[in-house]
């Protein structure tokens, strides 16, 4: 537009939108202050002003810059010797299509203006550059600036991301099918795909995002459910994917630790559509999937904490609930347990053993993933308040006793490996939704050869009150060590009393000593939890359990029965039981509770020490 003379009143090249054509400028008119820059559309369908702009910056050195919401998103590098420092544009073109100075841009600076002008090679077909709503700068055929994937490229400004994200091995993959979204936790109006992408990257619980309503509203998903087919309208969704290289690095590290001897399978929700699908192979989980499953390891998801570290409840993308044991960085015991559990429990399959589903290794993170058992552990019920104890009548308690015996029998005799658990106790007996017991925590377990009867160690680990005398005093352990622990546990289940407490008025006795005294006097039923109301019909079974418990806690390991014997004793009421000998420990004097320093936490899994004295014969 002119005034009829040579004077120009308005021209479109001074007011570019999202497209740069040959001869157009990016810079500033120093006299008027008018700036030339590109501005993206809001979406591909909506030509309103978007959140990306592309122009020149002359404050320090001359360069081209893409801004996103006012922040630097990409830079071309400084103009030097007739070129821009970075070769994003050149690298994207075939050799024959190399542009003129500055790869298609020329730089001009004088008293009137400073700018870059666009001058592509004449051989380029339909030369133009378009700034897309996603911040991508592209021509008709090629893309020249693309930072959305977070893979490090020249000029892309690296975002500050939480530790749970790894741009080198993760990206969001677009899909238009195969998933049903559920439990979206954030809605964001007037958001672009880049806004959604960045918000998802910066939230460890985010595993996917999608765009709705003409791509102006973003939904961030904490969980997605894989499906083969859609019913009704499918949703466009970007799902977090992890490179196979990360999986490979995790496997290599596991081999270096000596924790596995065969390849793992990578956890992929697409391949495991059936919840609870059984497999004998462990799965490698990504740290991001576990962060999402636990709401970024929130305190609300925390189930408890042990010598290994905290334990969280989680929910996978396919809806399966899991228990996640995260190694504490300060735990020396934990690293040994981590290796031991992977090498051991993965090879054990029994209904009364907790199932290890997989693990995760990423930098300092070492995590074990188990099946989730909703009713917590046995100690929560038998040592809790009366309302909790009442939930376990004698029938349920006896079912738990039988389940524990079957699990131990499998470990000692019928599994592919002969295993000594070494830390059997009430808190390591987990209960499923039907109160069936499952033995857990194999971090301290040891494998025995078929010809091996016992072993010796200088490092005594376990829980005081459950450890056999030969193990505590000499470091000798065998299957009979587990039998001793089972005997203690059996007496605790019957009585709802802890072994390391005092139960006698005249002289303090632990539970074993108290049970022995009552049995000698023919008053063993007084040991039974008085809240049990199953009637006289259960009395004989209770007496038999106490009798078997006392046989298991005899001082000499040779006097104790095997777990095969225990199973027969409990199942066959007509079987004659031998007379138990005096148990291993009596406690004289007041039991002391000592706080064990954390640096020695590898030596036991409970901060209680019982000061015990052998009763003279």
Residues with a catalytic annotation lie at 423
Is-contact 74 156, C-beta < 8 A? yes
Which alpha helices (H) appear in 209-315, and where do they start and end? Answer: 244-257, 287-293
CA–CA gap between residue 348 and residue 358 (Å, rounded): 13
- The tokens for 244 are 């196979």
CA–CA gap between residue 538 and residue 261 (Å, rounded): 48
User: Between the CA of residue 542 and those of 467, 501, 537, what are the distances in Å?
Assistant: 24, 21, 10
CA–CA gap between residue 442 and residue 340 (Å, rounded): 7
User: Between the CA of residue 199 and those of 136, 288, 292, 344, 604, what are the distances in Å?
Assistant: 18, 15, 14, 40, 44
Is-contact 304 298, C-beta < 8 A? no
Classify 368 as helix, strand or coil: strand
Paired with 174 in beta bridges are 238
Residues 6+ apart with CB under 8 A from 427: 377, 378, 379
CA–CA gap between residue 102 and residue 91 (Å, rounded): 13
DSSP-derived pairing of the beta strands 321-326 and 310-315: antiparallel
CA–CA gap between residue 117 and residue 186 (Å, rounded): 42
């Amino acid at each position: 537009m002119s005034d009829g003379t040579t004077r120009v009143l308005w021209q479109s090249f001074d007011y570019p939108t999202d497209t740069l054509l040959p001869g157009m400028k990016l810079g500033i008119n120093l006299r008027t202050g008018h700036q030339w820059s590109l501005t993206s559309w809001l979406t591909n369908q909506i030509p309103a002003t978007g959140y990306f702009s592309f122009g020149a910056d002359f404050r320090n050195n001359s360069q081209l810059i893409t801004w996103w919401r006012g922040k630097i998103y990409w830079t071309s590098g400084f103009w030097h010797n007739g070129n821009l420092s970075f070769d994003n544009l050149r690298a994207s073109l075939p050799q024959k299509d190399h542009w003129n100075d500055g790869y298609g841009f020329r730089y001009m600076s004088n008293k009137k203006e400073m700018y870059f002008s666009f001058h592509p090679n004449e051989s380029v077909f339909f030369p133009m550059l378009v700034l897309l709503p996603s911040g991508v700068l592209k021509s008709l055929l090629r893309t020249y600036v693309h930072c959305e994937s977070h893979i490090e490229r020249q000029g892309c400004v690296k975002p500050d991301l939480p530790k749970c994200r790894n741009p080198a091995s993760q990206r969001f993959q677009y899909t238009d099918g195969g998933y049903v979204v559920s439990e979206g936790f954030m809605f964001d109006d007037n958001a672009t795909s880049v806004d959604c992408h960045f918000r998802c990257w910066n939230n460890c619980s985010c595993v996917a995002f999608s765009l709705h309503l003409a791509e102006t509203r973003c939904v961030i998903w904490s969980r997605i459910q894989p499906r083969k087919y859609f019913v009704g309208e499918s949703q466009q969704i970007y799902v977090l994917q992890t490179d196979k290289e990360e999986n490979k690095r995790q496997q290599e590290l596991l081999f270096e630790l000596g924790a596995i001897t065969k390849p793992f399978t990578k956890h992929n929700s697409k391949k495991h559509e059936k919840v609870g699908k059984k497999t004998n192979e462990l799965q490698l989980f990504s740290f991001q999937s576990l962060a999402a499953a636990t709401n970024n390891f929130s305190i609300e998801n925390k189930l408890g904490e042990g010598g290994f570290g905290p334990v969280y409840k989680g929910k996978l993308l396919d809806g399966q609930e899991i228990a996640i044991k995260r190694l504490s960085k300060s735990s020396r015991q934990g690293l040994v347990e981590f290796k031991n559990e992977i090498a051991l429990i993965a090879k054990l399959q029994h209904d009364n053993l907790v199932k290890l589903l997989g693990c995760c290794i990423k930098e300092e993170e070492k995590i074990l993933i188990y099946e989730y058992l909703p009713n917590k552990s046995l100690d929560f019920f038998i040592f809790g308040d009366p309302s909790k104890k009442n939930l376990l009548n004698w029938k349920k308690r006896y079912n738990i006793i039988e389940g524990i015996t079957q699990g131990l029998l499998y470990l000692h005799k019928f599994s592919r490996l002969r295993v000594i658990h070494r830390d059997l106790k009430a808190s390591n007996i987990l209960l499923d939704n039907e109160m069936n017991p499952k033995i857990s925590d194999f971090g301290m377990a040891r494998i025995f050869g078929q010809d091996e009867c016992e072993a010796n160690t200088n490092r005594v680990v376990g829980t005081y009150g459950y450890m056999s005398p030969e193990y505590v005093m000499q470091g000798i352990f065998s299957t009979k060590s587990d039998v001793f622990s089972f005997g203690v546990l059996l007496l605790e289940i019957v009585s709802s009393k802890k072994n390391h407490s005092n139960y006698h008025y005249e002289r303090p006795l632990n539970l074993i000593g108290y049970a022995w005294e009552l049995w000698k006097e023919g008053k063993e039923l007084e040991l039974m939890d008085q809240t049990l109301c199953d009637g006289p019909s259960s009395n004989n079974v209770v007496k038999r359990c106490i009798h078997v418990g006392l046989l298991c806690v005899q001082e000499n390991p040779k006097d104790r029965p095997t777990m095969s014997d225990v199973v027969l004793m409990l199942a066959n009421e007509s079987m004659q039981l031998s007379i138990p000998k005096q148990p291993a420990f009596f406690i004289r004097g007041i039991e002391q509770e000592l706080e064990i320093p954390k640096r020695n936490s590898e030596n036991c899994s409970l901060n209680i020490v019982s000061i015990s004295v052998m009763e003279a014969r």
